[in-house]
Structure 1
Amino acid sequence: MEKSSLDADCCALNMVLVEEKKGHLIPNGNAHQGVNGTLNGGPISAVTGTISAAEKKQGFPERETWTRQMDFIMSCVGFAVGLGNVWRFPYLCYKNGGGVFLIPYVLFIFLGGIPIFFLEIALGQFMKAGSINVWNIAPLFKGLGYASMVIVFFCNTYYIMVLAWGFYYFIKSFNSTLPWSTCDNPWNTENCIETFRHDDCQNGTIGNSTFGNLTCEELANGRSPIIEFWENKVLNISDGLDEPGVINWELMLCLMAVWVMVYFCVWKGVKSTGKIVYVTATFPYVVLIILLVRGVTLPGAYDGIMYYVKPDWSKLGEAQVWIDAGTQIFFSYAIGLGALTALGSYNRFNNDCYKDAFVLAFINSGTSFFSGFVVFSILGFMASEQGVDISKVAESGPGLAFIAYPKAVSMMPVAPVWAALFFIMLLLLGLDSQFVGVEGFVTGILDLFPGKYYMRYQREIAVAICCLLCFIIDLSMVTQGGMYVFQLFDYYSASGMTLLWQAFWECVVVAWVYGADRFMDDIARMIGYRPFPWIKWCWSFITPCVCMGIFLFHLLNYKPLTYNNVYVYPWWGEVIGWCLALSSMLCIPVSLVYKLAGAKGTFRERWEYLTKPVWGAHHLEYMAPDTDIKSLASLSPGTEENKIL
């Protein structure tokens, strides 16, 4: 396109968009016209800025926006506030010095959590695109989008297993006697002991029960019914990864039911998702409050809470404490998955995403801290009932959700009620994280198809294919060897290393390739003011150093995966794990090399061309007429330029 034509079109569109501000044209400002006045997938008038009747007849959809801004807030809360806030943070806080852990934790919130959380939301809002096309801001680094899609796909695949287990426990909670509270079930072994208090053990006698010539030490090594329910009934676990065994059909039906729930939460897009999260994101807080009120009234609760918050100042000198704090931030803020970018892309262009980032960070971290009181009040009660130190019962991850907490509620009066409440909370906490993750993945996929390829029900079909594909992979996790497969995905595919690697490159690309000051100006055009300079300093220097520092620590201190600290994975299992990790991490350098190799000219010319942003129509209002830009509409799917991008 000649410069004179570009000038005319830009000026015309700028005047149109000024009129739009008065409320006359282009609802929501979401039509994606190029500088030549064409819509991405259909023609648009550069004079009137309105979509033609012919285009309307073709049925090209505009990008959806949230019905109200609270829909976006609740969706982010539902996605970022998940199971890790309840089962990981409290244990890390207890293990790393109690209240002292909050010092490095809060520090990393401001040095890493908020800056990248804000960056991902702002990028999505500014570019009006999902996790792949958002990197049109620097097309050479579109590998970042592919990497995030790989990570979130893996997360969607294995994370839902926790929901299937939770749903299974929820159903079993409606029995008059909790099946994990007794030793008279078909799956129990002769080593099962329902209740053991070391203080009550004398000559092999506990209460009115006798155990022959067994010593207290031998009795203490007996297996709890909750452990046998978990390993022998729910998992029916085999001896290793090389023994997959048969499918647990009850668990498979629970998995299918949860995937059906996820499908109907996502299939209609943000209009339906934004309504569902009002239930899935808020009800867990109601349950947490109920459980806290119940927990603090139990004997031993005070001791449990003191274990949680009592400061141990000596821990501040340990490197592992700081690493745990930084890693937890990246996990709990759901950074690097691309879903936050997708959620931000449905915002109004002038939404104050800077304020939203702080509100969401406060809710996320506040939930983590609050959950600790709920968890440790119950664990304190359980330790008191068993006559052991709380360190013997404190666990994190699935061990807390499916062993420690169920065992604690089985000791309460009306145990099935408390069990059902806990597992419905667990299910809802994970459900919104799951369906928003699927939303982020589907958004990224659909954004790859221009409007001209739009077909009716394409979202419903895409969501169905995604759910079905993940379900098929999940079948390997409902076998007798499924737990070993689950741990492979959990330990490698969405590990701290992959998320830190992704976050590092996001900061580098925005701050040093596109330009931190330039993006700060873009944000100011969206929200009406420039964020505090500290954000720019974090993007440019502090956050990349934090990410790379923790990444290298994880790499240098890598330990082979084990199950229960006993079973060591075979060498080929580790190879599979590293393939899962590298499948996302290598997307960035491989894509970069491929694009540079496919472009023409000197290295400098290739770099300049491939790092030049590709704009959408909503950006034209803020561009000077002489801006040298490339338009999405100027690149047809078959051109050499588009292949390079």
Structure 2
Amino acid sequence: MVYETSYGTGQKPFTPDPNRGMWEKPSDYIFACFGLALKLDLFSASYWFFFDMGIFSMMPYFIYMVIYLVPILVIHSFMGQFSSSGFISAFRLSPFFKGMGYVSGFLAISMLIYYSIFAAVPLLFMINSFRPTLPWSCEGMKSWYNQSSDTSTICNVTDGRESLDSDYSEYNSSFYLKMLEVPSVLYFQSHFESMEYMYGYEEDKDYDLSWHFVGYFVLIWGIIALIFYKFSETAKFGKLIRYMVLGTLGLLVVCFVRFLFLPGAMKGLLRFATPHDRDMMGMASTFVMVLHAFGAGWGSVITLSSFNKFQTNIMSYSWIISFGQIFIYILFGMVNFMLEYYFQEVKVASYDTHVMSHWMLFLSSASVMASMEFANLWTFIYYTMLLMASLTVMITQIFTILQSLFDEFEQLRGRKQEVTFGLIGGLALCSFIFCTNDGVSYFSALSLDAIFSHSVLHLLLLLVVLWIYGRERFQRDIEFMLRQPFASWKVFILRFMSPFILGICLLAGLSAAIFEHSYSSMVVLVMAIFLLGLPLLFIPGYGLYYLYQSSGTFCERFRRTCRPTDWYPVDMEDRQRYEEFVGNTEMTHQLFEVTEEVN
């Protein structure tokens, strides 16, 4: 194998960022990856499609964890840790596919645009929890809710048949299903002049911008800007993430213990732990959970691992991360089931009523807290937990995007503050579309599209690392970095079994996206195409552009652009050991020449 330097291809050589820093503690990398599991849109509007099942539906997760989750996590971690660079520059492993890094950054930005709503909603309930009477309580809703409305809520219904129309009763007295609304959902909807959440779709409805939510969005992005002003250094940022993840999980456990005493909570836990026929459909949910382990923008783990020390044991860390993330999903799943069964317990004791408990963790849960003693306090605690979870996801994603840009574009390193706050300001402006009734109602479509895009990127990554770069070289680099072998059976699974599973996941994601977009507006469909679909075309486009810049015949150009360029450890001592390990004296001279000219 002839190793290429950037001089051999006529490109500017990769220049490491000496000020990028490292994690203060090795465990900060683990906590940062745990934070990726706090992306709670898995449990929001699409919950009914994927997660209306118990713990037995999650059992395939552990099979997938062995087959491809942990090995692919190792590949992501290897690329970041070996190269000490973000998800763009790490693809100097095979420059033809460097477009994957740019697409990963674009997907992360797309997620951040819509994910603000998951921080704004908790902020809405937190701020209003300071009122003496909660507005979404049965007593508080009298001040804003139209009591003459035909809508029935869990507050004003005592008999499922009490308001049954006489004509309808005579026509069909054997069956009647009454829909009961949750006050906290109605309170959320009241911030928009016209909005029907998850049902009653209207193609010709007017866009309604909620200035209340514009204010909440501005406050959220202001908090994020303050965080990056105070914690821009890697060590400080890692420490912040560590405490935010621990604080979020600590508050979640506190809320879990309190919810155990709610009516119907034990029935919910029993249902969660009891096998059910619907649990056989759990493969769809576990696909989604596995894909979210890598972050919303797909390349997060690559960048987060780049702050590890060179010989950090990414194999054991990958197992810890995988088990930790499923623990987080299970804990949130149990909370969701307890809240769901609370409504089944307190509603009318009749078979013919149904509570419209939309977006359980974020909206309907507020009405549960309103029924508790010290309701204001528990509302504040619960929604503080959700706000911390959302902020953790958002700032981690922004951090990985920024560091990847600084690693790739040397000229941006001297203007870090301008780039940081420029990115945050641009994201804030773009996110205002989700302050509208249409944006709030259909954001889940963009979330489901990520299943398809993540599957495509994983398949391409396996192609790049295990086929183009090569199995033997990959195993050799892992052995050099960790001083332990990477088992051949893992490579066999990754080369032959994982692509098959990812292919199924890709088809499932495509089907889910088509189904979701069939109910969403044309605006959201166009956004999905531009934010999540068309960027994938940039991967072959960038490869062809890189090919065009090279010289020689087409075959020579293609082989040259697929070979690793400047692929060596950044630290000089590790680089010298790597040269000795590989045993390529020609590469040794080339690398020293590059170093001298860069310095």
Q: Which range, TM-score by smaller chain?
A: 0.7 to 0.9
Give the alignment of 1:95-494 within 5 angstroms: 95-96=52-53, 98-182=54-138, 183-186=141-144, 188=146, 190-195=149-154, 200-201=159-160, 203-204=162-163, 220-221=178-179, 223-233=181-191, 237=195, 245=207, 247-267=209-229, 268-312=232-276, 315-316=279-280, 320-334=281-295, 337-386=298-347, 387=349, 392=354, 399-450=359-410, 453=411, 456=414, 458-484=415-441, 486-492=443-449
CA positional deviation for 1:296: 1.7
Q: Deviations over 1:280-328 (max 9, x none)?
A: 1011221222122112222322211122121125753xxx532332222
Asked whether the 8 Å contact 2:87–2:101 carries over to 1, the reply is yes
* 1:331/1:340 CA distance change after superposition, 3 Å: same
Between the aligned partners of 1:235 and 1:262, the Cα distance in structure 2 is: 29
Q: Which residue of 2 aligns with 1:18?
A: none
CA positional deviation for 1:93: 7.9
* 1:92/1:520 CA distance change after superposition, 3 Å: farther
CA positional deviation for 1:346: 1.1
Asked whether the 8 Å contact 1:121–1:345 carries over to 2, the reply is yes
Equivalent of residue 591 in structure 1, options 537, 542, 563: 542
Count of aligned pairs between the two proteins: 569
Asked whether the 8 Å contact 1:156–1:434 carries over to 2, the reply is yes
> For residue 301 of structure 1, what is the amino acid of its counterpart?
A
Query: Is 2:504 the counterpart of 1:549?
Result: yes
Asked whether the 8 Å contact 1:138–1:613 carries over to 2, the reply is yes
> For residue 609 of structure 1, what is the amino acid of its counterpart?
R
Between the aligned partners of 1:288 and 1:118, the Cα distance in structure 2 is: 29
CA positional deviation for 1:252: 1.5
Between the aligned partners of 1:66 and 1:235, the Cα distance in structure 2 is: 47
Question: Can you give the 5+ residue segments of structure 2 that lack an aligned partner in the other structure?
Answer: none
CA positional deviation for 1:389: 7.5
> For residue 498 of structure 1, what is the amino acid of its counterpart?
S
> For residue 554 of structure 2, what is the amino acid of its counterpart?
F
CA positional deviation for 1:192: 4.3
* 1:222/1:350 CA distance change after superposition, 3 Å: closer
SS in 2 for 1:614: coil
Q: Deviations over 1:573-614 (max 9, x none)?
A: 534422322233212222223323443222331122112212
Asked whether the 8 Å contact 2:29–2:238 carries over to 1, the reply is yes
CA positional deviation for 1:361: 1.0
* 1:89/1:232 CA distance change after superposition, 3 Å: closer
- The answer to which of 173-182 and 302-311 deviates more is 173-182
* 1:157/1:575 CA distance change after superposition, 3 Å: closer
Q: Deviations over 1:534-572 (max 9, x none)?
A: 43223312222211222123335653436xxxx944556
Between the aligned partners of 1:542 and 1:343, the Cα distance in structure 2 is: 27
CA positional deviation for 1:474: 1.0
Between the aligned partners of 2:425 and 2:592, the Cα distance in structure 1 is: 32
* 1:234/1:292 CA distance change after superposition, 3 Å: farther
Between the aligned partners of 2:88 and 2:153, the Cα distance in structure 1 is: 53
CA positional deviation for 1:222: 5.3
Question: Can you give the 5+ residue segments of structure 1 that lack an aligned partner in the other structure?
Answer: 11-31, 43-59, 206-210, 638-645
SS in 2 for 1:233: coil
- The answer to which of 243-252 and 502-511 deviates more is 243-252
Query: Is 2:488 the counterpart of 1:533?
Result: yes
Q: Deviations over 1:463-505 (max 9, x none)?
A: 101100101101222134332563453344xx21011111111
* 1:432/1:391 CA distance change after superposition, 3 Å: farther
Task: Give TM-score, length-normalised by structure 2.
Answer: 0.84
> For residue 304 of structure 1, what is the amino acid of its counterpart?
G
Query: Share of identical aligned residues, percent?
Result: 19
Between the aligned partners of 2:294 and 2:190, the Cα distance in structure 1 is: 34
Between the aligned partners of 2:353 and 2:56, the Cα distance in structure 1 is: 18
Between the aligned partners of 2:18 and 2:286, the Cα distance in structure 1 is: 43
> For residue 410 of structure 1, what is the amino acid of its counterpart?
A
Between the aligned partners of 1:243 and 1:635, the Cα distance in structure 2 is: 62
Q: Deviations over 1:126-184 (max 9, x none)?
A: 11111110000111110111110111111121112210121112111222222122342
Higher RCO, Cα 8 Å, sep 6+:
2
SS in 2 for 1:184: helix
* 1:499/1:185 CA distance change after superposition, 3 Å: farther
Q: Which residue of 2 aligns with 1:613?
A: 564
CA positional deviation for 1:255: 1.1
Between the aligned partners of 2:454 and 2:20, the Cα distance in structure 1 is: 28
CA positional deviation for 1:349: 0.9
* 1:575/1:62 CA distance change after superposition, 3 Å: closer
* 1:532/1:369 CA distance change after superposition, 3 Å: farther
Asked whether the 8 Å contact 1:150–1:583 carries over to 2, the reply is no
SS in 2 for 1:221: strand
Asked whether the 8 Å contact 2:96–2:562 carries over to 1, the reply is yes
* 1:89/1:81 CA distance change after superposition, 3 Å: farther
Asked whether the 8 Å contact 1:266–1:272 carries over to 2, the reply is no
> For residue 321 of structure 2, what is the amino acid of its counterpart?
L
Between the aligned partners of 2:233 and 2:263, the Cα distance in structure 1 is: 47
Between the aligned partners of 1:376 and 1:90, the Cα distance in structure 2 is: 11
Asked whether the 8 Å contact 1:81–1:332 carries over to 2, the reply is no
> For residue 507 of structure 2, what is the amino acid of its counterpart?
L
Between the aligned partners of 1:502 and 1:275, the Cα distance in structure 2 is: 30
* 1:77/1:393 CA distance change after superposition, 3 Å: farther
SS in 2 for 1:559: helix
C-alpha RMSD of matched pairs (Å):
3.7
* 1:40/1:307 CA distance change after superposition, 3 Å: closer
CA positional deviation for 1:244: 5.9
Asked whether the 8 Å contact 1:117–1:335 carries over to 2, the reply is no
Between the aligned partners of 1:633 and 1:327, the Cα distance in structure 2 is: 47
Asked whether the 8 Å contact 2:180–2:355 carries over to 1, the reply is no
Q: Which residue of 2 aligns with 1:53?
A: none
* 1:454/1:557 CA distance change after superposition, 3 Å: closer
CA positional deviation for 1:511: 0.6
Q: Which residue of 1 aligns with 2:529?
A: 578
